[in-house]
Amino acid sequence: MFRRNKSSADEGRPSGLPEDMVVIVDQSVNPYLVLFHEPNGYRSEQVRALRNRLVAMNPDGEPKTLVVTSAVRDEGKTIAALNLAMAMAELERQQVVLVDADMRRPGCERYLNLNPEPGLADVLLGRTTVEKVLRPAGYRQLMLLGPGTRVSNPAEVLSSSRLDELLHRLKERFHYVVIDTPPVLPSTDAGVLAARVDGTLVVVRLERSLKKQTREAVRTLQEMGGNVLGCFVTELRGQDPESDRRLAYETRFGEDGGA
Ligand SMILES: Nc1ncnc2c1ncn2[C@@H]1O[C@H](COP(=O)(O)OP(=O)(O)O)[C@@H](O)[C@H]1O
Ligand SMILES: [Mg+2]
């Protein structure tokens, strides 16, 4: 049994708890980063299934660049890009880099609990080299190229001729380059990037995305020269093990009469 003597300083605290007993549980890792939170769960398996399909589309194992985008903000692009990059990084001998090319509302560093550092913008502006700003993402061998120093003109920075050179360098070093971007409809950034990479995935958040906007985004990407591979659909309610036990495969302790 734990014992602790109450001190006079504890009196009158709203919780009644002594101050040194207040424990803050770090919940800053986003719950939708399923590869991190529930690596054996159904949702992680779904991300791996998508990864496997992408790998199957690349039978020669050539280095590939991949844009993850969606029509508008808050559709889960960054989370989807992170989950996919993490799933890619689980593959043996595959070097993977996640690039945060959303210089308007960057999210990768925040979701990975990393401090902002020089990154993509600095490379595109010729202030540094990519080798100097690549850093571990904190998951397996996954590397991160963050958005870099905030700039007021992301579209101009992205249209730099250094972009092609950068993508070329990344393909020399990595098997998969996963690029998180701003949404398609409010700016041209995603379209510019989609035109320069091997394939583009469009995130659709079923509870939120509007069909009309997603269609328009796909059309815009294609018109700009993007190779749209398919959609990354999230928030499929009714399609998870909590609502349908047949979808659960892992045996939990205590089930099947086991120990
Ligand atoms: N699969 C999901 N289901 C529900 N909410 C999600 C999902 N993926 C992301 N979110 C939430 O949506 C918000 C926006 O996610 P984010 O990936 O930053 O979007 P975007 O990059 O498209 O702006 C975050 O608060 C995140 O927690
Ligand atoms: Mg984002």
Q: How far does CA 203 lie from the centroid of its chain?
A: 11
Q: How many whole angstroms separate alpha carbon 194 and alpha carbon 144?
A: 19
Q: What is the pLDDT of residues 36-92, one digit of tens each?
A: 889 999 899 999 999 999 999 999 999 999 999 999 999 999 999 999 999 999 999
Residue 116 lies inside a defined structural domain of this protein? yes
State the pLDDT at residue 62.
94
State the pLDDT at residue 7.
55
Which ligand is nearest to the Cα of residue 101, counting in written order? Answer: 2
What is the atom index within ligand 1 of the atom nearest the CA of 43? Answer: 1
Residue 52 lies inside a defined structural domain of this protein? yes
Residue 2 lies inside a defined structural domain of this protein? no
- What are 68's two structure tokens? 């993850």
Cα 179-90-55 angle, rounded to 5 deg? 65
Q: How far does the centroid of ligand 1 lie from the alpha carbon of residue 75, in Å?
A: 6
Q: What percent of the chain has pLDDT over 90?
A: 71
Q: How many whole angstroms separate alpha carbon 80 and alpha carbon 185?
A: 18
Residue 155 lies inside a defined structural domain of this protein? yes
The set of residues, in sequence order, having a beta carbon less than 8 Å from that of 115 and lying 6+ positions away, is 109
Residue 101 lies inside a defined structural domain of this protein? yes
Residue 255 lies inside a defined structural domain of this protein? no
CATH number at residue 99: 3.40.50.300
Q: How many whole angstroms separate alpha carbon 93 and alpha carbon 52?
A: 15
State the pLDDT at residue 116.
96
Pocket test for ligand 1, best of 30, 47, 79, 234 (most atoms within 8 A of CB): 79
Residue 223 lies inside a defined structural domain of this protein? yes
State the pLDDT at residue 237.
66
Burial class of residue 1, CB neighbours in 10 A (0-12, 13-18, 19+): exposed
Query: Which residue ranges of the chain lie beneath pLDDT 70?
Result: 1-28, 237-259
Residue 85 lies inside a defined structural domain of this protein? yes
Three-state secondary structure string covering the chain = CCCCCCCHHHCCCCCCCCHHHCCCCCCCCCCCCHHHHCCCCHHHHHHHHHHHHHHHCCCCCCCEEEEEECCCCCCCHHHHHHHHHHHHHCCCCCCEEEEECCCCCCCHHHHCCCCCCCCHHHHHCCCCCHHHHCEECCCCCCEEECCCCCCCCHHHHHCCCHHHHHHHHHHHHCCEEEEECCCCCCCCHHHHHHCCCCEEEEEEECCCCCHHHHHHHHHHHHHCCCCEEEEEEECCCCCCCCCCHHHCCCCCCCHHHCC
Closest CA to 22 of 35, 47, 4, 38: 4
What is the atom index within ligand 1 of the atom nearest the CA of 183? Answer: 22
Domain residue limits at 93: 34-238
Q: How far does CA 151 lie from the centroid of its chain?
A: 22
State the pLDDT at residue 259.
38
State the pLDDT at residue 257.
42
Which ligand is nearest to the Cα of residue 73, counting in written order? Answer: 1
Count of structural domains within the chain: 1
Q: What is the pLDDT of residues 217-226, one digit of tens each?
A: 999 999 999 9
State the pLDDT at residue 254.
47
